[in-house]
Amino acid sequence: MKPSTLLCPAFVLVALAACQPQSGNSVPDRPTLEETEQAPAPRIWDKGAMVAAADPRAVEAGLKILREGGTAIDAAIAVHTVLGLVEPQSSGIGGGAFMVYYDHEDDALTVFDGRETAPQAADENLFVIDGEVLDYVTAWQSGRSAGVPGMIALYKAAHEAEGQAEWGSLFQPAIDLAREGFEVSPRLAGLLANERLRDAVRLDEDENASAYFFPEGEPLTVGTVRDNPAYADLLQSVAASGPSAFYEGDNAQAIIDVLGQEPLPGAMTLDDLSSYSVKLRPAVCGDHETMRICSAPPPSSGAVTQNMIWGLYERITEGSSPGYSDEKLAAWVDAQRLAYADRDHYVADADFVQVPTSDLIDPRYLDARVADVFAPDGNPQAGDPGEVLGRGSIIGMWGRDLTDETPGTTHISIIDKQGNAVSMTATVESAFGNSRMVNGYLLNNELTDFSRQPTINSLPVANAPAGGKRPRSSMSPTMVFDQDGDLFMVTGSPGGNSIVAYVSKTIVGVLDWGLSAQEAINLPNVIARGPSVGVEIDVERGQDWADMLSAAGYPVEERTGENSGLHVIIVRGNGLEGGADPRREGVALALD
Ligand code: DON
């Protein structure tokens, strides 16, 4: 593997000391131009461009921007504003995202952390009333669950860093579609028609959401043309005046008003909104025998889990030849169990608590951790990277976080004509966020990604709520680089805490089992968090895998209706290969 060439690009605002690969290897700084004898040859990109996302209309908006010379970041903004319209159950401008951006010419990675943030007035008892921890649904369907949205601020920070297209033009596809009206998709209509979901989601209880999704009391049906002038107007203002149109003035007041309503009014203030800032963070990468995996650092679980799972899998299967085998499937399950246990224990907002990010993916820790692989019917426990690496035990600092997460997220993968790439997972957390609608978009319930229970067995939970803190996320927008350090794969998915397993499936499926992007996406989902192993049985090979793992002694939980939404782009010798998850409605399309 060639030594790291990943650097903090000039626009990274965080302390440069943090701009080190976190794999434990020391990486020399790249010489400046003045230090080299001559400028390096420009890096050539001749593989084309592609957009993969959850709706063809959003993909087309992204392709249009790329066709006109926009960058992957420009395209991501256009794609996402259209998704906020046509896939409102999953994400939108009332939510947040993590975006990993790869600059091909500079060979540099940056993470834009647009995660929703707890209001300053929040504390560890955000979801505790009179000593009782609120159940998930009560917490979700309350004014307290919404974090300050990060999406529009992320668009701006990313565009200022690497946008080429004119800011206002990026909103035009969504504005046009919102004014003309869009055809309601089968997935959106299906969710709205689902009575059980309707009872849980309670869109009917919000005046705006009810009128929008249930005109005359009936759910929107497939093919109905739904316009959204309020969303078009707001985007038009953002296009003209920038993020202040969202974070200040009428829109900000409307957010505060709707969150101030019963049940359980939230404590968000105008000041919380106007002071929101995107955090630009260095990507965290792990070096492995045949590749480098880079993803978002905490509060995202992406970098920790994807590197841990692959690193452990590689160690368990050492000496085997490439390709699928039943033993390797079991090895992947074992690797997941250990990584999930560590993630559940340690990952949280590292600006608030100590997260041993680099230690968890340190090869010396992985060498030791692989010995913890346990019997199929055992119960996973967190490891102790502090002890293994001689820094002193840290396992007793925290109680284990058992936060659950439910549907409502989307993933976008893009490579532009210059070879720059975006991997962005965006969310409103649950289906339709917290169901309160403002100016044609839904607010998020991201704060339920905190541990609602702030202490477990008298120990604080790392991921407990606090004012200004960002909740832990399973979102894992990821890029894989090959042995020459060249971009090989852009991947990511929605799916709550199963995201970790979904994304890992594409890495293992493509890199070790030799599959195409689409074949890897189509594989049954296998999720090994906690003692049981969830296996998706209503897809090809699913029942076989469930039976095989069951026969090997794993407590298999047979699952149907998995919620992945993987969108993957692979860089092959002869061009780009894409894949889109058939479990959702997306496509991967190359620029012609
Ligand atoms: O950030 C997270 O981990 C969750 N809010 C993601 C939720 C999700 O993916 C639901 N997906 N379908």
Determine the pLDDT at residue 38.
Answer: 66
- How many percent of the chain have pLDDT more than 70? 92
Domain ranges of the chain: 42-280+409-460, 284-404+474-590
pLDDT grade for 200, boundaries at 50, 70 and 90: confident
Check: pTM over 0.85? Answer yes or no: yes
Determine the pLDDT at residue 3.
Answer: 29
- Alpha carbon distance 445, 405 (integer Å): 11
Residue 250 has pLDDT above 50, yes or no: yes
User: Could you identify the atom of ligand 1 that is nearest to the CA of residue 406?
Assistant: 10
Q: Taking Cα atoms as reference points, which of 481, 423, 152, 109 lies closest to residue 280?
A: 109
Is the distance from CB of 145 to CB of 267 less than 8 angstroms? no
Chain segment 535-558, per-residue pLDDT in tens: 999 999 999 999 999 999 999 999
- CA triple 318-322-324, angle to 5 deg: 105
Highest mean pLDDT among 64-68, 394-398, 406-410 belongs to 64-68
Is the distance from CB of 80 to CB of 120 less than 8 angstroms? no
Ligand 1 pocket, residue 509 CB under 6 Å = no
User: Could you identify the atom of ligand 1 that is nearest to the CA of residue 446?
Assistant: 5
What letter would DSSP give residue 467?
Answer: T
Residue type, 336: Q
State the CB neighbour count (10 A cutoff) for residue 195.
8
User: Maximum distance among all alpha carbons in the chain?
Assistant: 72
For residue 164, the SS3 value is coil
Q: Which residues of 151-189 are buried (b: 16+ CB within 10 A; e: fewer)?
A: bbbbbbbbbebbbebebebbbbbbbebbeeebebbebbb
Chain segment 17-49, per-residue pLDDT in tens: 233 333 333 333 444 445 445 667 778 999 999
For 6, counting Cβ atoms within 10 Å of its Cβ (0-12 exposed, 13-18 middle, 19+ buried), the class is buried
Chain segment 125-169, per-residue pLDDT in tens: 999 999 999 999 999 999 999 999 999 999 999 999 999 999 999
Q: Mean of the pLDDT values across residues 310-325?
A: 97
Residue 5 has pLDDT above 50, yes or no: no
Average pLDDT over all residues of the chain: 92
What the block records as the tokens of 220 is 């929107």
**CA 177–ligand 1 middle distance (angstroms):** 26
Does 284-404+474-590 carry CATH code 3.60.20.40?
yes
Determine the pLDDT at residue 8.
Answer: 32
Question: Which sign does the torsion angle of CA 459, 462, 467, 472 carry?
Answer: negative
Query: Is 474 labeled as ligand-binding?
Result: yes
pLDDT grade for 63, boundaries at 50, 70 and 90: very high
Query: Is 169 labeled as ligand-binding?
Result: no
- Phi and psi for 234 in degrees, rounded to 5? -65, -45
Residue nearest atom 10 of ligand 1, based on CA coordinates: 407
- Alpha carbon distance 439, 478 (integer Å): 32
Question: Which sign does the torsion angle of CA 515, 519, 520, 525 carry?
Answer: negative
Ligand 1 pocket, residue 496 CB under 6 Å = yes
- Alpha carbon distance 421, 102 (integer Å): 5
**CA 45–ligand 1 middle distance (angstroms):** 33
**CA 494–ligand 1 middle distance (angstroms):** 6
- Alpha carbon distance 162, 532 (integer Å): 44
- Alpha carbon distance 170, 80 (integer Å): 10
What the block records as the tokens of 549 is 């793992």
Determine the pLDDT at residue 299.
Answer: 98
Ligand 1 pocket, residue 463 CB under 6 Å = no
Q: What is the DSSP string of 348-407?
A: S-TTTS---HHHHT-HHHHHHHGGG---TTS------HHHHTTS---GGG-BPP-----S
Residue 9 has pLDDT above 50, yes or no: no
- Alpha carbon distance 171, 169 (integer Å): 5
Among 4-8, 93-97, 122-126, 371-375, where is mean pLDDT lowest?
A: 4-8
Ligand 1 pocket, residue 503 CB under 6 Å = no
Ligand 1 pocket, residue 499 CB under 6 Å = yes
Rounded (10°) CA dihedral 341, 344, 350, 355: -30
Determine the pLDDT at residue 337.
Answer: 97
pLDDT grade for 196, boundaries at 50, 70 and 90: confident
What the block records as the tokens of 268 is 């968000």
Residue nearest atom 5 of ligand 1, based on CA coordinates: 429
Query: Which residue is associated with the tokens 């293992």?
Result: 508
- Alpha carbon distance 91, 441 (integer Å): 9
Half-sphere exposure of 63 (CA within 13 A, CB side): 17
- Alpha carbon distance 186, 86 (integer Å): 11
Determine the pLDDT at residue 296.
Answer: 98
Among 210-224, 320-334, 387-401, where is mean pLDDT lowest?
A: 387-401
- Beta strands per DSSP E along 276-361: 279-281, 284-287, 292-295
- Alpha carbon distance 408, 474 (integer Å): 12
Is the distance from CB of 153 to CB of 114 less than 8 angstroms? yes
For residue 235, the SS3 value is helix
Determine the pLDDT at residue 43.
Answer: 86
Ligand 1 pocket, residue 407 CB under 6 Å = yes
**CA 10–ligand 1 middle distance (angstroms):** 31
Preceding omega of 299 cis (within 30 degrees of 0)? yes
- How many percent of the chain have pLDDT more than 90? 87
Residue with the bigger pLDDT between 315 and 28: it is 315
Query: Is 436 labeled as ligand-binding?
Result: no
Half-sphere exposure of 493 (CA within 13 A, CB side): 30
Residue type, 303: A
For residue 156, the SS3 value is helix
- Alpha carbon distance 247, 153 (integer Å): 9
Determine the pLDDT at residue 166.
Answer: 98
Q: Mean of the pLDDT values across residues 175-190?
A: 97
- Alpha carbon distance 305, 136 (integer Å): 25
User: Could you identify the atom of ligand 1 that is nearest to the CA of residue 301?
Assistant: 3
Ligand 1 pocket, residue 143 CB under 6 Å = no
For residue 168, the SS3 value is helix
Chain segment 331-363, per-residue pLDDT in tens: 999 999 999 999 999 999 999 999 999 999 999
Residue nearest atom 6 of ligand 1, based on CA coordinates: 496
Ligand 1 pocket, residue 477 CB under 6 Å = no
**CA 406–ligand 1 middle distance (angstroms):** 6
Catalytic residues: 409
Chain segment 495-538, per-residue pLDDT in tens: 999 999 999 999 999 999 999 999 999 999 999 999 999 999 99
Query: Is 449 labeled as ligand-binding?
Result: yes
**CA 393–ligand 1 middle distance (angstroms):** 31
Mutation test residue for ligand 1: of 475, 476, 567, the one with most atoms within 8 Å of CB:
475
Query: Is 493 labeled as ligand-binding?
Result: no
pLDDT grade for 16, boundaries at 50, 70 and 90: very low
Q: Mean of the pLDDT values across residues 170-195?
A: 97
Residue 327 has pLDDT above 50, yes or no: yes
Chain segment 449-472, per-residue pLDDT in tens: 999 999 988 899 999 999 999 999
Ligand 1 pocket, residue 282 CB under 6 Å = no
- Alpha carbon distance 26, 32 (integer Å): 18
Q: Mean of the pLDDT values across residues 569-589?
A: 97
